[in-house]
Structure 1
Amino acid sequence: MKNAIYLATSHDCAANLAGEAYMLTLEYDHILFLWVNDPCIVIGRYQNPFSECNLKNMEEHNVQLVRRQSGGGAVYHDRGNLCFTLIGNKETNTKEENFSLVLKALANLGLHCELSGRNDILLDGKKISGNAFQTTATKFCHHGTLLVSSDLSVMSNYLTPSSTKLASKAVRSVASRVGNLKEGREDITNEMVETSLIEAFNAAYGKTEVTAIDCAAIPEAQANYRRFGDLSVILEKTPQFTHFFTHRFDWGEASLHLQVEKGLISEVRMFTDALDTSIVDRAVGILKGVPYNHAVLAELARTCEQADLVSLLSHVVSLL
């Protein structure tokens, strides 16, 4: 069999996902790809980042937003999280075979984990690995996370959306009780897990040389980068949704419904008991066609000279 093992030198998640997409085009029977990312939130192919993430906190702390091509929920990555990808023939490779390889690698480190019904791997009842899948015409791609020593204390800062009411047909994440492999073995490192996965891969498919790879430098991957890591492309791919709220202002009560498509406010509907009924047309005029973006809407609120609209815009901003 013709196999490959790649170890990423890049820590840019979008570049690594673009590299993974490139590997799906290579003529190998089996590929193991190991990669570690700088802080980022990775959302599934059909997810709405506005309802999954706190984009304001992410922007303030330079946490990258990335959209993968597989399904599943939103996850937090940092340098304490080891990502693995197993690529095989669509007709013969199965997730059961892949899970067996990963569980064997963990067991060889003295970590006796189990598979849950949601395609998660658990250690003492805590999720230490989430997994997602993608199929092409010829390949089956299984990628997952392994929380080794991730900073779990900051996850809620980025994976907890604001109080904005959102109505969307996008796929929602399911909350899980998470933990680190370090809780089962204090001295564990990413390198130890990498070595064990490589040994399990070699035992299953034959000895294979490990190749270091910089996905950010591969022309085929560079050409694909925007699909995974360009914020404007990610927002364009976000399913249509509605942001709505009801709030009492000094000038009256208002219910505002904003329909968002491809990251832009495409429709504005407002219901109010305000004495000045012109506020409805003025709200539509200032909001329609504007990017659904914290910074843009904050700037609108700052520069607007109409007091009632300023309070309305400021409330919208506070919910993002």
Structure 2
Amino acid sequence: MNRRAIYVATSHDCAANLAGEAYLIKQDLEHILYLWVNDPCIVVGRFQNPYSECNLERMDAEGVQLVRRNSGGGAVYHDKGNLCFTLIGKKDSSTREENFALVLAGLKKLGIEAELSGRNDILSQGKKISGNAFQSTATKFCHHGTLLITSDLSVMANYLTPSSTKLASKAVKSVASRVGNLSEVKPDITTKEVEDALIEAFCDKYGPTDVTMIDFKKFAEAKADYRLFGDRNLILEKTPQFTHFVHHRFSWGECSLHIDVHKTKITKVRLFTDALDTSLPERITNNLEGLSYAKTALLKASDKCRDEDVLELLTYLIEQI
């Protein structure tokens, strides 16, 4: 029996492709290479806070999908100029070292010299062209990564740079890196060339293997798990509890506001102020606690608010979220 497989996704929906990856991890195979390309999206790590990693408002306005993966690591931007690869093997025999060696071998076939940097990155000519993350199940080791080929790096900061809001969280923060495309090293490179090189490197190592094209957006097992990766409400609900800190001088006085958020809701508000009106903290707390942590919820609250001092604070918060 052939104990290896190569899959190339025809879907460009990142949540569907990650659901497909989750399906492949469960398959009784010794070695799998899975290649996939996504429409514009931000993919956050398993324990990250999208509120602090992403500009969610701009993503919504420009149709950039928010996705959460099962592996750890930082937030990344994907588009069709980026090739994702996944290598799945047995937990007791697969290693990240052999996987990195396979990817480097594939790049070398294209005449591209690259090297590992730290535990998770691949560099070429001093720039990061690949970020990688890992996850394990009881029996499988999954290594997935990106290869920047012709990605539009100019828009990356539009979505990965958060607003000026100060957020404190137990979630994992992303680390900024100097990134570059493979096209800077080999100007005429195409995604198909990189796919073919990785497939050839996989076959060199594990033996000849047929390539299966698959659309995980239509694949029943992947469709069942789609919401685990692509449902916006579920992604935000899984965000670790965090606190939004606000410091501002209002017409009624200076204010430091601590807003605790859990499962998309404002759960607790603490206000420190030099305002002369001692009833103001309680009025602000009553207007904020229980609201969804979202611009739309604050807009609705401000429309109903008849307290001018509270309304001034709500108006400011709307600009910060």
TM-score (norm 2): 0.97
Counterpart Cα distance in 2 of 1:2 and 1:281 = 65
What's the offset of the Cα at 1:280? Answer: 1.6
Counterpart Cα distance in 2 of 1:50 and 1:78 = 21
Counterpart Cα distance in 1 of 2:276 and 2:291 = 26
What's the offset of the Cα at 1:295? Answer: 2.3
Counterpart Cα distance in 1 of 2:26 and 2:255 = 53
Counterpart Cα distance in 2 of 1:246 and 1:287 = 16
Partner of 2:105: 104
Partner of 2:294: 293
| Aligned AA (1:20) | E
What's the offset of the Cα at 1:139? Answer: 0.4
Q: How many residues align?
A: 320
1:69-104 CA distance string (max 9 Å, x none): 000000000010000000001111110000000001
Counterpart Cα distance in 1 of 2:165 and 2:177 = 22
Counterpart Cα distance in 1 of 2:240 and 2:232 = 14
Partner of 2:20: 19
Partner of 1:195: 196
Counterpart Cα distance in 1 of 2:296 and 2:151 = 30
State percent identity of aligned pairs. Answer: 64
Matches within 5 A, 1:196-211: 196-211=197-212
Does 2:118 align with 1:117?
A: yes
What's the offset of the Cα at 1:274? Answer: 2.0
- Secondary structure of the residue aligned to 1:222 is helix
| Aligned AA (1:89) | K
- Secondary structure of the residue aligned to 1:215 is coil
Counterpart Cα distance in 1 of 2:296 and 2:154 = 26
Partner of 1:138: 139
- Secondary structure of the residue aligned to 1:178 is coil
Partner of 2:53: 52
Q: Which moved more, 1:50-59 or 1:138-147?
A: 50-59
1:107-158 CA distance string (max 9 Å, x none): 1101101100141000111101000000001100000000000000001111
Does 2:255 align with 1:246?
A: no
Counterpart Cα distance in 1 of 2:119 and 2:285 = 43
What's the offset of the Cα at 1:318? Answer: 1.4
Aligned-residue Cα RMSD (Å) equals: 1.1
1:209-245 CA distance string (max 9 Å, x none): 1111111112211111111111111111111110011
- Secondary structure of the residue aligned to 2:217 is helix
Partner of 2:217: 216
Which sections of structure 1, spanning at least 5 residues, go unmatched? none
What's the offset of the Cα at 1:304? Answer: 2.5
Counterpart Cα distance in 2 of 1:16 and 1:9 = 9
Matches within 5 A, 1:1-320: 1-320=2-321
Which sections of structure 2, spanning at least 5 residues, go unmatched? none
Counterpart Cα distance in 2 of 1:180 and 1:276 = 57
Counterpart Cα distance in 2 of 1:34 and 1:303 = 51
What's the offset of the Cα at 1:307? Answer: 2.1
| Aligned AA (1:65) | L
Counterpart Cα distance in 2 of 1:9 and 1:108 = 24
TM-score (norm 1): 0.98
1:253-272 CA distance string (max 9 Å, x none): 11111101111111111122
Q: Which moved more, 1:31-40 or 1:266-275?
A: 266-275
What's the offset of the Cα at 1:278? Answer: 2.5
What's the offset of the Cα at 1:246? Answer: 1.1
Counterpart Cα distance in 2 of 1:302 and 1:97 = 59
| Aligned AA (1:194) | E
Counterpart Cα distance in 1 of 2:163 and 2:4 = 45
What's the offset of the Cα at 1:298? Answer: 2.8
| Aligned AA (1:129) | S
Counterpart Cα distance in 1 of 2:119 and 2:3 = 32
